[in-house]
Amino acid sequence: MKSKSEIKRKFERIRRPEEARVFLSHKYEDKAHCREIAAYMEDLGVNVFFDERDEDLQQAVSEKSDVQITERIKEGIRECSHMLVVISEMTYKSFWVPFEIGYGHARLIERPQLGESRDIRIAILLIDQFPKDKLPEYLRVCYALHNLNDLNEYIAQITKTPLEIIREQIQGGNQSLRAPDFVRPLRGILD
């Protein structure tokens, strides 16, 4: 029997299949930064799959079910149109991030998608001033985001929202923004 959250997710996908949804891949130690990144993106209209908010994944983790954890992560990737991989010094110690990238590449890149001039389905977000030249080769070919302007352009592209509107929302047009300090959003993460 399917859980309520699984039924809800499938209903949401049927209702708005054209909507961009981003799988946020990250190392556990970067979770606090990722909470802020996810909130920022959601405030600007992006639907984000973030592991700690997924009830089914959290249930599998609490039950220590390796199979259910793996299957739920794979399902989360399949439900998304894009993947944003958060890269820091900690990422090198991750077992899950390379798995997610590999599975995401097979699911997202090898699926035919017409109309995108630059392949942004798998992007990397370099935080804490992580240098791109330290990346493994398979990540160097990904669409790279280095700063807040890059992230805003990425959000504009995947939501098909003009960048000017994104900037207006950040600079006061959207009073519902939840991410902290919108005078300088994501301070200390994307400096």
Cα separation, 49 vs 55, in Å, equals: 11
Rounded to an integer, the average pLDDT of 36-45 is 93
Mean pLDDT of all residues in 118-147: 87
Is pLDDT of 167 > 90?
Answer: no
Pairwise pLDDT comparison (15 vs 51), residue with the higher score: 51
Of 101, 148, 142, the residue nearest 119 (C-alpha): 142
Averaged over 178-187, what is the pLDDT? 56
Instruction: Round to whole Å and give the CA distance between 82 and 78.
Output: 10
CB 185 within 8 A of CB 165: no
Evaluate if residue 73 carries a pLDDT over 60: yes
What's the whole-model pTM score? 0.82
Q: Is the pLDDT of residue 87 over 80?
A: yes
**Can you list the domains of the chain with their CATH numbers?**
20-173 (3.40.50.11530)
Rg (CA), the chain: 16
More confident position, 187 or 22: 22
The pLDDT value given to residue 3: 58
Does the structure show a pLDDT above 50 at 105?
Answer: yes
Q: Are 57 and 73 in contact (CB under 8 A)?
A: yes
Q: Supply the pLDDT for residue 184.
A: 52
Q: What is the mean pLDDT of the chain?
A: 83
Q: Residue 111: which pLDDT band, with cuts at 50, 70 and 90?
A: low
pLDDT band with cut points at 50, 70 and 90 for residue 5: low
